[in-house]
Amino acid sequence: MTFRPLHDRVVIRRAKGDLKSKGGFIIPDTPKETPQEGEMIAVGPGLRDENGPLMPLDMETGDPILLGKRTGTKIGIDGEYLLIMKECDIMDIVEKTEATADTAA
């Protein structure tokens, strides 16, 4: 199924939570904390200002983002749960720098 969000809405795939704690304990489903990281799956075209021109969103498909724990509307598409929310509900776009790329390698 294909879809595209309207106006200033975006579709996000929330990152998978860790199944083990830092100490190596397995975390059951109920106390597991909701991850605040995600990936932008689809982006709407933007909003129109009062004069009519379209103001595009500041993000693109594939951008890694930070979002609130309880934001967005959860939807199921093709057996996968995604979030739909407005652009203003996203807290941050995570940009990788050369320093973080070096430490990850």
pLDDT tens digits for range 17-55: 655 555 665 555 554 556 678 888 889 888 888 888 888
- Kindly report the average pLDDT of the chain as a whole number: 77
Q: Which domain holds residue 76?
A: 9-104
37 beta partners: 66
> Six-digit token pair at 91?
């807290």
pTM exceeding 0.85? no
Please check whether residue 69 lies inside any domain of the structure. Answer: yes
Instruction: Give domain status of residue 2, yes or no.
Output: no
Is residue 39 situated within a structural domain? Answer: yes
**Consecutive H or E run containing 100:** helix 98-104
1 found inside a domain: no
Q: How far is residue 85's CA from residue 37's CA, in Å, rounded to a whole number?
A: 14
- Number of domains forming the structure of the chain: 1
Which CATH number belongs to the domain containing residue 48 in this structure? 2.30.33.40
As a whole number, mean pLDDT of residues 77-104 equals 77
The residues, ordered by sequence, that sit 6+ positions from 21 with a Cβ below 8 Å of its Cβ are 27
- CA separation for the pair 82, 38 (Å, rounded): 10
